[in-house]
Amino acid sequence: MNKTLFLRIVHRLEQEVDYFKPSQDATGRFSLTALQKCTAAIRQLVYGGGADTVDEYVRLGETTARKCLHHFTNGIIHLFGDEYLRRPTPEDLQRLLYIGEQRGFPGMVGSIDCTMNDLNILDRSPVFDDIINGIAPEVNLYVNGHTYHLAYYLTDGIYPDWATFIQSIRLPQTEKHSLFAKKQEAVRKDVERAFGVLQAKFAVVRNPSNLWDKHKIGNIMRACIILHNMIVEDERASRTQYVFPGFQESDMERFSVNMPSPVGNTMDRRTSVRNIQTHHNLKYDLIENIWVKFGHRPDNM
């Protein structure tokens, strides 16, 4: 994290969160500074150590350091959560769809590959709640001359054949299938790389938790994600793989994002998400699209 960004965070917390505001005790002695408290918190997040590991560096006791950590994570979520931990807007979806189209997957908005218990939590997952409830932006995409109305995620083979999931091909037998499998698996690795970067920056995410309180553990995880997004934005500036200088409105011919419509009901939308035939049709069209787009290249990339 750049010094400028860290000091900006410290300043916001000092101005807007009571715990970090300067104060005096009955003897006129000033309290710990916001810089001390934030440094103690960020070191616990980055190095993953206990609250007693910062006592000599910032002159804080174990109990105070632990309190700093929890107030820091609460403050980060309160001040920056709405901006750096939000659902994609229609503009965000257009950017994601454009990136997916450039990589050979029109309509792809990301990948899902997080845990070994995916199927156990899939029915309780909120990933598709907005679609089923009719409040998600409508996505229309065109693949291999056919029209589809749901964006999708790239997944591994454990996921079911839903219209919103596209898996790789386990044992490809043709050149087309081999190229599709290679491209799908390469793009799907992005989510693993992103989580690996998050673990590298914040050891508290990688190490076993020292806490028993699920709410506090959740706050720490959310705060780390917010800080990670802030760091990425700060370092990215104008140089990023996600900003394409040639992106024009004409590039949206193969996809479009519209505001949600109240037409339809919850059961119809739920059925469309789990439509197996749509899944197979889309996968076939994607295989053809990948072959047309990359099959003629010597390296297939």
Q: Which residue has the tokens 């960004």?
A: 5
Range of the domain at 147: 90-212+248-295
- Give the CA angle between residues 263, 269, 275 to the nearest 5°: 140
Which residues of the chain register pLDDT less than 50? Answer: 116, 238, 240-242, 244-247, 249-250
The verdict on residue 220 lying in a domain is no
Domain boundary (85, 114, 133) is at 85
pTM, to two decimals: 0.73
% of the chain beyond a pLDDT of 70: 87
Number of folded domains in the chain?
Answer: 2
At 87, is the secondary structure helix, strand, or coil? coil
178 and 287 together in one domain: yes
201 and 176 together in one domain: yes
Residue 162: CB partners within 8 Å, gap ≥ 6? 273, 274, 275, 276, 279
Beta bridge partners of 256: 140
The verdict on residue 151 lying in a domain is yes
Model pLDDT for residues 159-202, shown as the tens digit of each residue: 889 999 999 998 999 999 999 999 999 888 877 777 778 888 89
What does the block give as tokens for 23? 């104060």
What does the block give as tokens for 155? 């997944």
What SS3 string covers 247-287?
CCHHHHHHEEEECCCCCCCHHHHHHHHCCHHHHHHHHHHHH
Model pLDDT for residues 6-37, shown as the tens digit of each residue: 999 999 999 999 999 988 878 888 888 999 99
